[in-house]
Structure 1
Amino acid sequence: MYAPFFGLKQAPFSIAPDPHYLFMSERHREALAHLLYGLGGGGGFVLLTGEIGAGKTTVCRCFLEQIPPSCNVAYIFNPKLTVTELLQAICDEFHVPVPPGAKTVKDYVDPLNAFLLAQHAAGRNNVLIIDEAQNLSADVLEQLRLLTNLETSERKLLQVVLIGQPELRGILARPELEQLAQRVIARFHLGALSEAETAQYIRHRLTVAGLTGALPFDRSALRLIHQLTRGVPRRINLLCDRALLGGYAGGQAQITPTIVRQAAAEVFDAQLAPPPTRRGPSPLGMGLAVLAAAVAGAGLTWWLQQQGTRSGTALAVSSARPASGVAPSASATRAASGALVAASAASQAASAASSPTAATPLHLADWTPQDGAAWQALAQRWGLPLASQAEPCSVAAQQGLQCYRSASGSLSLIRLIDRPVLLTLQRNGQPPALAALVGLDGQQATLWVDGAPRRIALAELAGAWRGEFTTFWRVPPGYANRADNIGPLRDWLATQLSLVPGLAASAAAPASSASAPPPSWADMTRQVQAFQASQGLQPDGRVGPITLMQINRASGVAEPRLDAAR
């Protein structure tokens, strides 16, 4: 409802666990590291606790995605069960057949033990994850302890991960559960976000939702949000969503502490929201204003939903847009890329000089796109000498570039990779045609038309673009033949990640360092995961084109960028 008013594609503060909005703070990454450590701990219990809404489910989802294929996983999300019901649920999750009419504990434990032994002999591990574990009764917890007695002479056969609210720690501290507490090999309490992390979290979600300008929350409002929510992500989502709604209803593009307090009075207890110093609209008045605005803006809301439907299948990656201006390195790769970009600077400057300061508006009905002209515009920004009859991707390959194509992209993805792209336009009664997108902001895009920038409303562009786009990306050494020899790619990653601000202190040492051995691929994968998490990418450790594009950008490689739509 309020998204277009603030220059957003969609509401940024839904409490649904959308992977596009994944934000891993330092605390979340540390909690994930504890879970992963426990995975190889050889049995026993791993404990993760945290306040309601602190992000335990987010960490658990990341943990599940990083469990290796050699592990069998049983996930119990409703632990309000009796001992027999829990054993039945565990057998069901592990697909363990039990005898017909099974009723006793022995009827379930015996086939489960046989299954765990067989999996151990096959080289597989077994992990049981229980969410909301604070709801487990004492007798069920004791049965879980007894399950960890299933073992060989070498190791335990079952690893148990307990995830729950803070009271779970108090439950395990009871004298009757001391034996279980002594088997906890790793434990971590997920605390709330700090004030700085709260601001980062809010900026991250707004950027993913399409924000390209300044935050709508002023500094004092951000500070107040942290105080009222205590840094708990779910509470932040509730409060920010209501505050943006209130700003929209009142026609205020800047969210002030007054609006935040009023929003807090609606979503939290009254005592959490001190009365504002000046009178604002009542909740009922705000609701009526919102309803009236919703009716007036129904057409724009419908278009936004349609655009979200078309781009909803995009890659599950999104990120705040890092600041430009990182000092370039003197390495050969970045020097070469800088030369290519510099080669096109003069021709771009000449074109810009002949065009008006503000780009002329464009309507697709008045323009016939030409594929050749679009490729020329993209190649020009990369400094590629593209002849009229040349195959663009072949020419790019000769310069160490590859074509990247996506059939299900989105404007969020294009903002993320932050580089000019070719959009495939589908217009009624016309064959598909390419258009060079060179700039983008919250309301308009800039296409390169006949040697000059032309502005087009995102609503009109959405009517002709279904998510298909193409761009260039720079291929690192060893990428093409990494299946045979991962050494060059590993060394390149180590070098580039060491240049990324914030990761330099923890990045693996470059292979060229005489004082350190080359990093292992396992170490390198962890570094890639940390980088992906910092960028808002899915931290899967996979080194694909999108991840490599972001590494190049963050480490200072000179590559073309999107302009703000003029």
Structure 2
Amino acid sequence: MYLNYFGLSDNPFSIAPNPDYLYMSPRHKEALAHLTFGLRESGGFVMLTGEVGTGKTTVSRKLLQQLPDNTQVAVILNPTLSAIELLATVCDELGIGYDGGKASLKYFTDCILAKLAENHDAGINTVLMIDEAQHLLPEVLEQLRLLTNLETNREKLLKVVLIGQPELQQLLKRNELRQLAQRITARYHLLPLTAPEVSAYVAHRLGVAGGDVSIFSKATLRAIHQITGGIPRVINLLCDRALTLSFTKQHAEVKKPIFIAAAEQILGEDVVSQRIQGEYSLILAALFVVSIAIGFGLGKWYV
């Protein structure tokens, strides 16, 4: 609705995990580097965690783009499955034919192991990527570990990428999963964006869509970090609504009051008020500490 008005060729703040819009903050670069390094190692598992909306899925899509051509990837987006259901899904993703009447853990495991050996002989790497992995049952995770037992003298024949919320870290601390935890060769926890990174993030997405960050005032950019906490998905939602409101009011620039109004529509007035007040409280606390330090210093000078 507002694209032509602001001179944009595409929606810059869609919440779809489009790798073209991935802003490679230092944290995102580290996350991608960790996953890439882990997949090159001999171990069976790599893990990426982060709060909801921090960009885990988008990083994983970028990773898929960078995998070598001789890689077959199985992607599981809904891991709320039993062990047998998970193995059947892996077979489906890898194009493995099977007889549903023979369904058992051993039958599916044998089918998958045969496929892994076949891929290895053909010079093909096999990667299993599981999103929302915090929903995996412990017995399912253990079954995944058993799949990675097939190996050569140099490497595992199956590499597993686990992507999930912080609860995944707690899940892997369980005693019965300690063997799997020891096989994780790379792990990274993706944190929200800092204030400078939020401005760069907004500028990047607008730039990809043919726009310019000047669409948002400097005060608005500060408010974006303050209210969203640096969570990319929330930034997208609020910026999209703010652009819509600015268009309806025929404003050439997204002003701070418009952005706050957009935030209140999506997050609620109470949430926005708490976050704004929380920021002010931090500033006042910092000023209080500084004033105490200055007073102490002056007192020592007079003595």
TM-score (norm 1): 0.46
Tell me the residue number matched to 2:140: 140
Residues 318-372 of structure 1, C-alpha deviation per residue, up to 9 Å, x if partnerless?
Answer: xxxxxxxxxxxxxxxxxxxxxxxxxxxxxxxxxxxxxxxxxxxxxxxxxxxxxxx
What does 1:135-534 correspond to in 2, within 5 Å?
135-211=135-211, 215-274=214-273
CA contact (8 A) 1:47 1:162 kept: yes
Call closer, same or farther: CA 1:66–1:9 in 2, change over 3 Å. closer
Q: Which runs of 5+ in 1 are unaligned?
A: 278-566
CA contact (8 A) 2:132 2:164 kept: yes
Q: CA deviation at 1:245?
A: 1.7
Q: CA deviation at 1:153?
A: 4.0
The structure number with the bigger radius of gyration is: 1
CA contact (8 A) 2:22 2:59 kept: no
Which whole-Å CA distance do the structure 1 matches of 2:119 and 2:142 have between them?
24
Which whole-Å CA distance do the structure 1 matches of 2:99 and 2:248 have between them?
62
Call closer, same or farther: CA 1:161–1:18 in 2, change over 3 Å. closer
Q: CA deviation at 1:273?
A: 1.5
Q: CA deviation at 1:89?
A: 0.9
Which whole-Å CA distance do the structure 2 matches of 1:232 and 1:169 have between them?
20
Any idea what SS the aligned residue of 1:101 has? Answer: helix
Which whole-Å CA distance do the structure 2 matches of 1:206 and 1:152 have between them?
47
Which whole-Å CA distance do the structure 1 matches of 2:71 and 2:216 have between them?
45
CA contact (8 A) 1:50 1:191 kept: yes
CA contact (8 A) 2:18 2:58 kept: no
Call closer, same or farther: CA 1:75–1:250 in 2, change over 3 Å. same
Q: CA deviation at 1:100?
A: 5.1
Any idea what SS the aligned residue of 2:102 has? Answer: coil
CA contact (8 A) 1:43 1:158 kept: no
Call closer, same or farther: CA 1:45–1:20 in 2, change over 3 Å. closer
Tell me the residue number matched to 1:3: 3
Residues 207-259 of structure 1, C-alpha deviation per residue, up to 9 Å, x if partnerless?
Answer: 232325x6122212111111111111111011111112222223332322222
Which whole-Å CA distance do the structure 1 matches of 2:242 and 2:133 have between them?
33
Q: Which amino acid aligns with 1:149?
A: N
Q: Which amino acid aligns with 1:72?
A: Q
Q: Which amino acid aligns with 1:256?
A: K
Root mean square deviation, CA, Å: 2.0
Residues 406-429 of structure 1, C-alpha deviation per residue, up to 9 Å, x if partnerless?
Answer: xxxxxxxxxxxxxxxxxxxxxxxx
Which whole-Å CA distance do the structure 2 matches of 1:248 and 1:123 have between them?
54
Q: Which amino acid aligns with 2:86?
A: L
Q: Which runs of 5+ in 2 are unaligned?
A: 277-303
Tell me the residue number matched to 1:365: none
Which whole-Å CA distance do the structure 1 matches of 2:98 and 2:130 have between them?
21
Any idea what SS the aligned residue of 2:52 has? Answer: coil
Which whole-Å CA distance do the structure 1 matches of 2:20 and 2:124 have between them?
32
Tell me the residue number matched to 2:97: 97
Q: Determine what percentage of the aligned residue pairs are the same residue.
A: 52
TM-score (norm 2): 0.84
Any idea what SS the aligned residue of 1:63 has? Answer: helix
Any idea what SS the aligned residue of 1:81 has? Answer: coil
CA contact (8 A) 1:23 1:204 kept: yes
What does 1:539-550 correspond to in 2, within 5 Å?
none
CA contact (8 A) 1:50 1:190 kept: yes
- Choose between structure 1 and 2: higher helix proportion: 2
Which whole-Å CA distance do the structure 2 matches of 1:9 and 1:120 have between them?
44
CA contact (8 A) 1:43 1:160 kept: no
Q: CA deviation at 1:132?
A: 1.0
Which whole-Å CA distance do the structure 2 matches of 1:272 and 1:113 have between them?
51
Which whole-Å CA distance do the structure 2 matches of 1:114 and 1:13 have between them?
44
Q: CA deviation at 1:86?
A: 0.5
Moved more, 225-234 or 1-10: 1-10
Tell me the residue number matched to 2:57: 57
CA contact (8 A) 1:148 1:159 kept: yes
Any idea what SS the aligned residue of 2:101 has? Answer: coil
Call closer, same or farther: CA 1:253–1:84 in 2, change over 3 Å. same
Any idea what SS the aligned residue of 1:96 has? Answer: coil
Which whole-Å CA distance do the structure 2 matches of 1:153 and 1:55 have between them?
36
Q: Which amino acid aligns with 1:187?
A: R
